[in-house]
Amino acid sequence: MTVRGAGISGLNPKALLLCFSLSPQFIDPAGGWPVAAQTGLLGTLHMTACALVYLAVGVLARSVLKTRPSAARAVTRVSGAMMIVIGGFLLVERLAG
């Protein structure tokens, strides 16, 4: 993972929303640890789990797509077509509403 990719992911507002909307239900203010320590631990565990999953997916995808150029072209075309379709749905929804 590059520094640029880590910076972009770290500045993603969805990550902050996830942290502040889902984490509080797992924090016990009356627990033995301070709330800040519990929040830090949960955040660190979440970031570690995400990093491991993204790393595994990236390594596996690169190894598969590097050995199969036709699969790489198919993935690129299918994902591009899906983005166009999603954009069309969003445009229609925006115009209708």
Where in the chain are the domains? Answer: 3-96
User: Given a cut of 80, is residue 97 above it in pLDDT?
Assistant: no
CB neighbour list of residue 92: distance below 8 Å, 6 or more residues apart: none
Query: CA 41, CA 73: separation in Å to the nearest integer?
Result: 41
* pTM for the whole structure: 0.55
How far, in Å, CA of 44 to CA of 28, rounded?
Answer: 17
Do 85 and 79 contact (CB within 8 A), yes or no? no
* pLDDT digit string, tens, across residues 17-76: 666 666 677 888 888 899 888 888 888 888 888 888 888 988 888 888 888 889 889 988
